[in-house]
Amino acid sequence: GQQLNQSPQSMFIQEGEDVSMNCTSSSIFNTWLWYKQEPGEGPVLLIALYKAGELTSNGRLTAQFGITRKDSFLNISASIPSDVGIYFCAGPANAGGTSYGKLTFGQGTILTVHP
């Protein structure tokens, strides 16, 4: 199956700062997904990327599908306290697969925002 490496593992930032995290895979992906998980809840889909080079925004969040198809980036601008949570990247568990079946998840980036 695909392996995902997500970094950094954790971030402690001040409110208002921008945040950047990334995910790399051991092989080519057709889809990249970014999820956020808040304490006591399940992951919630933030952004889905389906094409190499694609840049997609969702409010203050922007994600990019790397040109090599082996990486993806998530940026959060002007962070606020409610951005706190664990951010996961995810992609198809099998090479050439879609996001509709098995997903493999990165280890997650724990984000803490100080007011």
Partner 1 sequence: DAGVIQSPRHEVTEMGQEVTLRCKPISGHNSLFWYRQTMMRGLELLIYFNNNVPIDDSGMPEDRFSAKMPNASFSTLKIQPSEPRDSAVYFCASSRGGPKFFGPGTRLTVL
Binding region for partner 1 (CB under 8 A): 33, 35, 40-45, 48, 88, 93, 99-108
Strands (E), the chain: 4-7, 10-14, 19-25, 32-37, 44-49, 55-58, 61-65, 71-76, 85-92, 103-105, 109-114
List beta partners, residue 62: 57, 75
Closer residue to partner 1 (CB): 43 or 66: 43
CA neighbours closer than 13 Å in the CB half-sphere of residue 53:
0
Smallest gap from Cβ 67 to partner 1, in A, equals: 23
Smallest gap from Cβ 76 to partner 1, in A, equals: 20
3-state secondary structure of 84: coil
Closer residue to partner 1 (CB): 31 or 79: 31
Smallest gap from Cβ 72 to partner 1, in A, equals: 15
Closer residue to partner 1 (CB): 12 or 100: 100
Smallest gap from Cβ 90 to partner 1, in A, equals: 8
